């Protein structure tokens, strides 16, 4: 059922984006004027991008064949000391990885500010009306503090999911996209996550991928369940999910359940969940998220278990180093392997630039 939901939602995302481009109001943020006066399209060959552990070959007909190494597993890792401070001085030898209890050899270790493809998901249900201005400001500050090479797309969701701005590094376009959001309706968090994760994976140009979701309550309108949303993300081999829960206006029971949901989403994907006591704290949290993304360790290993065996693989990462009594590691808890395949990418037609 989860895959059918994802397909339907992705179709909805695409049509929503198309509607945004065709609106009768001010020109949408994701429609940029061409650098050329000519409206004639040009053919451009676009090789595959952003796939960890893959190689591409170009055939005589201009077709790219991408051979994917599906045994490679990429982890974005945050390390904290006992007081919650981020530790930035570890080397490769400090990390130990086990998959289903079996030690894994690290094949790549990087600790640098890698560019990110980011999806910003903002709850636009009716209860968000008085929080919108603070949330919009925080979203913009997150991008201002990000790597200049980062790209982001913007989604708002109530009972349906709408793309307000496609991938861009332009702060002005994101700001215009935010102006399209009009709070109303109910809250379909899981549906928005399923569709946005798929959209991110299909269209991102960077291997490092993140979703940030900002919501003020429980899901009450999704077709997908929490388990299906998490499974969909794990099936896609990413992205990391950060959550900001504005739960200070909910009843104790509603806030408790909504908090548990957001914590589960973050824990299973290697992200973090934050729960400000007022909208005034949201901007500071956005800054913390931006810093966390930019200072992570990125580690790759080749699984010793063949992908053809399928099934969920649990990941456990430990960090040990002299001078540190106890270090905690935050990364995704596991994944579902992708079957080995060869992907064909043909020449694409894009508007003249």
The CATH number of the domain holding residue 145 is 3.40.50.410
Residue 219 burial (C-beta neighbours within 10 Å; 0-12, 13-18, 19+) = buried
Closest CA to 111 of 144, 76, 135: 76
Tokens of 87: 């530790």
Where is the domain boundary, 241, 270, 294? 294
Query: Up-side HSE of residue 33: CA atoms within 13 Å toward CB?
Result: 3
As for how many domains the chain has, the answer is 2
The answer to whether the CB of 115 falls within 8 A of the CB of 296 is no
Tell whether 92 and 158 lie within a shared domain.
no
36 C-beta neighbours (distance < 10 Å), count: 11
Q: Measure the CA–CA gap between 95 and 113, rounded to whole angstroms.
A: 19
Tell whether 210 and 127 lie within a shared domain.
yes
Closest CA to 163 of 143, 190, 189, 181: 181
The answer to whether the CB of 50 falls within 8 A of the CB of 117 is yes
Tell whether 131 and 265 lie within a shared domain.
yes
Q: Measure the CA–CA gap between 274 and 340, rounded to whole angstroms.
A: 37
Domain assignment present for residue 168? The answer is: yes
pLDDT at 238: 76
pTM beyond 0.85: no
Domain assignment present for residue 146? The answer is: yes
Residue 224 is classified by DSSP as S
Tell whether 232 and 312 lie within a shared domain.
no
pLDDT at 104: 98
pLDDT at 254: 87
pLDDT at 13: 52
Tell whether 20 and 150 lie within a shared domain.
yes
Domain region containing 81: 71-111+297-335
Where is the domain boundary, 294, 327, 345? 294
3-state secondary structure of 50: coil
Tell whether 208 and 245 lie within a shared domain.
yes
pLDDT at 71: 79
pLDDT in tens, 145-192: 999 999 999 999 999 999 999 999 999 999 999 999 999 999 999 999
Tell whether 137 and 198 lie within a shared domain.
yes
Tokens of 308: 């053809």
Domain assignment present for residue 178? The answer is: yes
Tell whether 162 and 193 lie within a shared domain.
yes
Low-confidence ranges of the chain (pLDDT < 70): 1-70, 339-353
Domain assignment present for residue 34? The answer is: no
pLDDT at 70: 57
pLDDT at 150: 97
Q: Measure the CA–CA gap between 242 and 146, rounded to whole angstroms.
A: 15
Tell whether 98 and 17 lie within a shared domain.
no
């Amino acid at each position: 059922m989860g895959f059918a939901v994802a397909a339907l939602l992705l179709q909805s995302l695409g049509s929503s984006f198309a509607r945004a481009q065709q609106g009768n109001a001010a020109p949408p943020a994701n429609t940029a004027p061409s650098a050329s006066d000519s409206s004639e399209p040009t053919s451009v060959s676009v090789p595959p991008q952003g796939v960890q552990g893959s190689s591409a070959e170009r055939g005589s007909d201009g077709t790219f064949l991408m051979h994917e190494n599906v045994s490679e597993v990429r982890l974005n890792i945050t390390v904290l000391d006992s007081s919650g401070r981020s530790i930035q001085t570890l080397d490769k030898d400090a990390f130990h990885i086990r998959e289903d209890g079996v030690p894994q050899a690290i094949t790549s270790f990087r600790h640098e500010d890698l560019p990110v493809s980011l999806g910003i998901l903002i709850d636009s249900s009716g209860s968000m009306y008085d929080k919108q201005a603070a949330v919009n400001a925080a979203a913009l500050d997150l991008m201002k503090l990000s790597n200049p090479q980062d790209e982001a797309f913007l989604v708002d969701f109530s009972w349906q999911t709408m793309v307000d701005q496609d991938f861009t590094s332009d702060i002005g376009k994101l700001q215009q996209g935010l102006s399209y959001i009009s709070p109303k309706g109910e809250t379909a968090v899981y549906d928005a996550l399923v569709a946005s994760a798929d959209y991110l994976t299909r269209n991102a140009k960077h291997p490092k991928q993140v979703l940030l979701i900002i919501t003020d309550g429980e899901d009450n309108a999704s077709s997908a369940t929490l388990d299906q949303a998490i499974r969909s993300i794990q099936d896609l081999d990413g992205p990391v999910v950060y959550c900001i829960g504005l739960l200070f206006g909910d009843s104790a029971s509603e806030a408790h359940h909504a908090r548990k949901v957001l914590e589960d989403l973050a824990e299973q994907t290697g992200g973090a969940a934050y729960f400000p006591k007022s909208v005034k704290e949201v901007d500071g949290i956005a800054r913390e998220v931006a810093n966390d993304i930019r200072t992570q360790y990125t580690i790759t290993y080749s699984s010793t278990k063949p992908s053809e065996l399928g099934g969920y693989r649990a990941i456990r990462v430990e960090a040990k180093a002299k001078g540190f009594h106890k270090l905690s590691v935050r990364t995704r808890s596991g994944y579902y392997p992708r079957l080995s395949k060869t992907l064909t990418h043909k020449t694409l037609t894009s508007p003249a630039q």
